[in-house]
Amino acid sequence: MDRRAFLATGGAAAVAAVTGSAAAAAVTGSAAAARAGSAAGADLSGAAAGAAGSEATAQAAARWPIFEWARPTGFFFPGGLVLPPPPLAVYEDGTAYADATASLPLHHRAAESLRAHAVAVLRSRRFPALPPPGPGFVTRPDRLRVRDDDGTVLAAELTGRDPAVRELAAHVQELRRTVLGGEPWRPNAVLLAAARLDVEPVGARPWPSGIPVPADRELRLRGARAQAVREKLEIGSRAYRVSPMHHVAATWRHLLPHE
């Protein structure tokens, strides 16, 4: 699977319309993917989200990370707008996940230091929100989402240049490298992505039985079907023949706990 640039060189930080509650957060915005190892820096603009009233929503919100650097509309082969893994996510119990491939329990001080650092950056500036994305594939900045001390969820899109965000980027990158050296993350839950090909590829393999073909580029699978993906599909992108006139390029990754 394609690995995007984690972050960043540079950044003017801007945070706009920061609201929310401990009960729930609907985060707006989208993230742009870059090539692995490249830098994406930081002008902050974004929105955090509204409160929800139901107990079910509150329970769902409790499972979200206290910190997440994500790319919800990134791009990787075989298709556009296919969800790449968050470079770093940290949960309330201190467990951190990098690239949805490795996990590591962090010392409380390390997790709290990252969360507080991100909150300080997002609270320090306010700018108008970026316009909503247009139709089709639109390059958007990476998204940062963090929970404040009072449970408020802050979110921002990161573009541009600013020393404060550059410092935060270095903090996150260092922690991500540490987490990648932790335990492999191999849950029985996967995100399967497939893009239809216009021409018949050379060397296409038959699509394995027992695995549904994603109708809209992405499909979340758990249990037996996720196990079938892990056993029968390569984790790197490859061409498959669904039928004589239907060929796809497909890849997959493991899901994080909140996904």
Q: Are residues 126 and 152 in the same domain?
A: yes
Give me the mean pLDDT over the 216-226 stretch: 90
Residue 151 lies in a domain: yes
Number of separate domains in the chain: 2
Smallest CA-to-CA distance from 165 within 16, 4, 40 is with: 40
pLDDT(227) > 90: yes
Same domain, 81 and 48: yes
How is residue 258 written in tokens?
């909140």
Distance between CA atoms of 9 and 96, rounded to whole angstroms?
23
The amino acid occupying position 146 is V
User: Last residue of a domain, which of 184, 210, 232?
Assistant: 184
Residue 21 lies in a domain: no
Residues 162, 43: contact at Cβ < 8 Å? Answer: yes
pTM, full prediction: 0.69
Residue 77 lies in a domain: yes
pLDDT surpassing 60 at residue 245 = yes
Instruction: Please tell me whether residues 165 and 221 are part of one structural domain.
Output: no
The answer as to whether 239 is a domain residue is yes
Return d(Cα 144, Cα 15) in angstroms, integer: 11
Domain boundary among 184, 205, 231: 184
Q: Could you tell me if residue 259 is inside a domain?
A: no
In DSSP terms, which residues pair with 32 in a beta bridge?
none
Residue 118: predicted pLDDT: 94
Both 83 and 157 in a single domain?
A: yes
Question: Where does a domain end: 184, 202, 225?
Answer: 184
Q: How far is Cα 96 from Cα 157, in angstroms, rounded to an integer?
A: 21
Residues of the domain holding 238? 189-254
